[in-house]
Structure 1
């Protein structure tokens, strides 16, 4: 395209915006809203995964020993368990130590235990796992193996919340995908209609340009460029709002020092920022393509 045509395209872009500024602002805002919702889902999903990883670091299996197991049997059992795949360390807690720990946990209500004539608490093994094994599948399999030993009465680990949270994450991933696709399609549709209104407002001018021999590419150029700019601006708007909301959220949860000490809420990575920018541009391009194709066919 020669310089004269470039200048002509830029002038038409300016006229388009001056003629229908609210439509262009609406398209930019719609893209921004779409990407704001998408960005929120990305941040939530990423940080929920991080939170699960933090919680998984504290996963331990507690195996309760049956009464009547001798010291020799207990020692051999501890050695056998420590050799199982995924086991990092096995520590023993006697019945008396378990009662002492319970008193410490109950603090001011520990007097409730004074009336006990016998210690009802069992001795136990606390099994710490290697980092690579701290996930739902491996913990479940290892717990089943340990529970098969005849000296073990019961095995306890965070089974309920592991299954529940893993199921929630899977559901959240699927819901995010569905919502993302719906929001994406809706935004493309709105952008397409917005561009269609702009084309309709300038139909007489565009018809004259076609009659005097203007090519389809020359007619399309200013609309593609201005809508790609809208997509980029909408993406930047969404990222700016996301960052503002993120900082407000961080300020709100700073009071929970213990949580923040083990888990850092992350913003979008640089790659995810680029992906949002790309999505905004793609939405704008698709909206332009659909609307221009329909207009030029008519």
Structure 2
């Protein structure tokens, strides 16, 4: 099968599902078990094609606008969080709502609401159009300004630089966020930073693992969907280390020509990518010649988030998603 020289596969540790993604998927599965299909989900529960397709097959219906949901239905908010307006609309329409917003995103929302009451304006570091950014900025009707890169900081129309706070999207590149933060602090020395940085532990851990992985291999493969912010960042981290890197949504996306002259393959997965896909990619790499698969040493994640009230049952499934 082509002229690849693939021999070794090195698995990043940690990789794949984080606690927030685990919790979000389990919320949809338990809602389906308890209330039966269909369960409506606003936006993709997490940004992964396999996960969304699996839940659709079980009876989840993914929508973007609440007028697509019939009266009296059960609705789940995605892991990315929603604006205050969406929350109020769901309440007004009388849906039974289960909130799968990642608790680390909720923490940012709470911080924004608290400081806004104290008269603060906000700079949000993030990617325009990403649902998490829309949800966080939608906690306020004004006084929150999005910056996507360091150059944007110069154009932020802040009224009182002494009452300014900064928040970030949780799935950013740690290095990119630090660069933009430096620009914010240079223009606004009195800016209030989060007590703990907003970039989530799982995003940080997976990026740190790739920084260790990339110099040890000839190529890095990231398992993740194109819409997944944290998966895209992993590919960029590897590229910055000088290692060719590609993102695949499924094993059939792997191209034999990528591996010509490459004997050591690094493999990781975004926080929304299930392990079953990683295993399938490993099988495909074995078909390309890989004979050894070993795991890097890495951080062991023990974080678990509680489910919302009103969802009982085992929540376990046989899909290999967890």
Short-chain TM bin: under 0.3
Q: Calculate the TM-score normalised by the size of structure 2.
A: 0.22
Give TM-score scaled by structure 1 length: 0.23
Structure (1 or 2) with the larger CA radius of gyration:
1
User: Relative to total residues, which structure has the larger strand share, 1 or 2?
Assistant: 2
Structure in which a larger fraction of residues adopt helix: 1
